[in-house]
Amino acid sequence: MYAGVGDKPNALREAKRAVELGGDDTYYAPAAEEGLTIVEAQTGETGSALARLPQLLKAHYFSWGSFAPLTPSLLRLDPVWDPLRDDPQFQKLIKARSQDFFARSKKRWTEDQALSEMTCDRIPELAEIRARLFG
């Protein structure tokens, strides 16, 4: 709220307080960190915001804003990150994390596919259903 009306000192103070209150909680603390990062981005503290983003992209947490953790796509599309868009470091981060994200997704898909095939080989009914669905 403070950031929206241009009160930078109070916005940063309250966002930092939320981070302190989150403590070591692995579920809620990253959401508070994300809130602080948004406030920093909105108030022109781009260096601090950019320094926090890599860690947030690795964390698994419940975001207060989007109800999902940050992803490269969310950073690219959500207007809250507009103040960082033209920063070369931000663009480089999104590109690197996108490649990493898709590589991990492809690996997971391959592992899931192999597990599915092993399961179907052991249970004849599943092999039949899989054959009908996927040819």
Q: What's the average pLDDT block by block, 10 residues per block, for the chain (135 residues)?
A: 77 90 83 92 94 89 78 88 94 84 68 65 69 71
- CA-nearest of 44, 40, 43 to 19 is 40
Look at residue 108 in the predicted model and tell me its pLDDT.
67
Look at residue 6 in the predicted model and tell me its pLDDT.
78
Look at residue 115 in the predicted model and tell me its pLDDT.
66
Global pTM reads 0.70
Assess contact for 43 and 10: CB atoms under 8 A. no
Look at residue 47 in the predicted model and tell me its pLDDT.
94
Look at residue 105 in the predicted model and tell me its pLDDT.
67
Look at residue 63 in the predicted model and tell me its pLDDT.
79
Please give the distance of CA 71 from its chain centroid, rounded to a whole number. Answer: 3
3-state secondary structure of 96: helix
CA-based torsion, 114, 118, 121, 124: positive or negative: negative
Q: Where are the alpha helices (DSSP H) in the chain?
A: 8-22, 29-42, 46-58, 72-77, 88-122, 124-134
